[in-house]
Chains A and B, each alone.
Chain A
């Protein structure tokens, strides 16, 4: 029976080529726009570390004076002071913990003829690598002892290793950063998280290439490297970053179980109470969002991307309504044909099925063309200057989803006309002719 409906549908679609083309084109444009914006939205709001994101937390305390504090309303500052970060780090209450800040490292060329350049760098502590499952191609990170001993060791990215050492195993080689020699301890395999969650409030990009250089925090501070984002809540001596009334460090902790997370929350609250008793802190509010909560709070996904998705779906809705109208017009025009079929014994169900098959064909054609439009749209986005431009590709699940959207929207569009067709009483239609 299905084959027969298919034949009928194709004949009917062929009979009115312009109308068919209009329906397919409108549906395809709506689907193309929606899939393009949805792909970008999904890409930007994705989970950068799916295997671990549920157990990574971002503890926050508020170092500002009591004045201006409204309990329950004032949120802690997005980063930590050096003192708080170091206290929490040294108490070592989580499986892994690391503090970090972004900076720009001046890398001197290995060959004499080239010019120095700045590379995006992370100043951090030893747990950074095991905690974030950072993949190494050669070597490894540094030990906690190396970090405390101000060892001049560095971990570099695959890209930087290609640029400086031609991709060879450079572990043990010397790299001059600013005016000091560092020993390469490890080279990463290609690694760029999207979004780069650890950099979100540290003054760096949220998307795009990964960082090039990873340095022990104490060493970098000793070499007078400055954090990219320094946020001060009082005036003070900025040359002494460790004491300045400024926040600039982000901290992540790894708490594999829910009970450990609960324990860390109460530990954090206790820490603040104790610091308030000492007179160092003045605001009791703490926060500890997990990775995905932190990304939502920080609003990493640009508003424009969400607005685009809204507009695209509004557009798809218009296209679906448009298709309903055109399908309905077509099917009402064929009242007589339906009357004949009904009179010859076709049940309502078969008439309904026939028209749904016709709608489905339009949906599939619309989906196919929509896919082409989506590819075109994504190609356009890849040529935009946005940070995330290079990432805009259609993946397999979005490919499948396109056809689901196409079929579902064409079915929705087809139900009303098909229903109208199957409830037509056959007799008047036959009489009229």
Chain B
């Protein structure tokens, strides 16, 4: 097919051509960035979290007398264990995605003084005996804590427990000792605290993102403590998923009766996770909606302009048909024309999309868009263009040759 006549015809209609090119370019720029943002958000929502997310409930007991913490905790743990269907129970200071942040910092170098940038920020999870089973942690290397390690851990008046054993997540192990096994290595904090890594577990998310990237979101450390600390109020109750809701109701009920002066609240872990990502999810949906409407508007714009074009050129089409062009020729003419315009728009759009991404990266928390988003966006708009032009082009191909002989 000869495309030269198309070019000369487009040159005659510079303004409408420019407008379509501009519209496609803008749509391409917005689409690429919006789809990238949607992808990032879906990635966040689906971040792996290697605990038994379907079976865990968290019951928080606050406002009990701190001077009797030891007795209160022992009684609460025993009460929860006695509920039928409960598989394991443990006490923690906070739970993943609960927004109740407990952050600390560790270094691998005992000589580091003060808290400076050699410290790597990490979420600190304190767990009591049986915590690995209650959470359903997946051991990757090493072991969980021994009974004497749990017994040796107390907080007292600090934010770090006494004791010297730690279990860390794979991503934190890779961050601290890239390329080496973390087992047996030591984490230091100041002069006072040091913990030997005895086990590595699959990634567990932090209570909140704490300003880090997706990888540091699963920098977590588990430290063993004895069940005596008033600063810990999250009871992890694990059951089979079918029993979960009943177990949670029974747990809240029993603990409320046991401690009339305390405030007892409970949520399933699924609810905690949903609540954490609710904003992210609504942003993703909003972006999807905008993309859909934008594609529709662009498509209708192309339909409108192409229809006008076809209407304007009825006579020329008639003449072409009269001198021997087939319907297929006319159809392909309009399709090729649209392809050329789309190509121009898409080329400009990819530059715009890249520029917009650079701007957003500078001013907002946004990552670099991988290159393949550009051709995907381009392909989408090419398809939209071809799809939208099909109707007007078919109408054009149905123009009878006899039109050429009539005036107007």
Q: Which A residues contact B (CB, under 8 angstroms)?
A: 19, 22, 26, 29-30, 33, 64-65, 67-68, 104, 106, 108, 115-118, 178-179, 224, 230, 232-240, 302-304, 306-308, 310-312, 314-315, 317-319, 321-322, 324-326, 328-330, 332-333, 384-386, 416, 420, 432-433
B157→A325 contact, CB < 8 A: no
In the assembled complex, the CB of A74 is this many whole angstroms from the nearest CB of chain B, namely: 10
**For residue B363, which residue of chain A has the nearest CB?**
A306
Alpha-carbon distance between A328 and B301 when the two chains are bound, in angstroms: 12
Chain B interface residue count: which class? Answer: 35 or more
Task: Given A234-B114, A235-B160, answer yes or no on A328-B29 (Cβ-Cβ < 8 Å).
Answer: no
Closest chain A residue to B20 by CB distance? A325
Determine if B117 and A308 form an interchain contact, defined as CB atoms under 8 angstroms apart: no
Q: Smallest CB-CB separation from A304: which chain B residue?
A: B283
- Find out whether the CB atom of B23 lies under 8 angstroms from the CB atom of A325: yes
B293 at the interface (CB under 8 A from A): yes
Interface readout for B285-299 with A: 1 if CB under 8 Å, 0 if not?
011001001100110
User: How far apart sit A325 and B27, CA to CA, in the bound complex (Å)?
Assistant: 15
Any A CB within 8 A of the CB of B408? yes
Q: Is the interface of B mostly helix, strand, loop or mixed?
A: helix
Chain B nearest CB: distance from A237 CB in Å?
5
Q: How far is it, in angstroms, between the C-alpha of A103 and the C-alpha of B307 when the chains are bound?
A: 65
Interface residue B82 (Cβ < 8 Å from any Cβ of A): no
Q: Kindly report which residue of chain B lies nearest to residue A239, judged by CB atoms.
A: B157
Query: B261: CB under 8 A from chain A?
Result: yes
Known: A64-B114, A234-B114, A385-B278. A311 touches B15 (CB 8 A): no
Q: Which residues of B contact A302 (CB under 8 A)?
A: 279
Task: Choose among A64, A303, A312 the residue that contacts B364 (Cβ–Cβ < 8 A).
Answer: A303
**Given known A-B contacts A19-B304, A239-B157, A433-B408, A416 and B190 have beta carbons under 8 A apart:** no
A240 surroundings in chain B (CB, below 8 A): 157
Q: List 5 A-B contacts (CB under 8 A).
A: A68-B115, A106-B63, A315-B30, A322-B298, A325-B304
B279 touches A304 (CB 8 A): yes
Chain B 139-168, CB-CB to A under 8 Å as 1, else 0, gives 000000000000000000111100000000
Contact A312 B157 (CB under 8 A): no
User: Which residues of chain B are within 8 angstroms of A319 by Cβ–Cβ distance?
Assistant: 297
Is there contact, CB below 8 Å, between A22 and B300?
yes
A29-B293, A235-B192, A325-B23 are contacts. A314–B30 as well, Cβ < 8 Å? yes
- Residue contact B297 to A324, C-beta cutoff 8 Å: no
Whether A326 and B304, one on each chain, are in contact in the complex, defined by CB atoms closer than 8 angstroms, is: yes
**B305–A306 touching, CB < 8 Å:** no
B192 partner residues in chain A, CB cutoff 8 A:
235
Within 8 Å CB of A314, what residues of B? Answer: 26, 29-30, 356
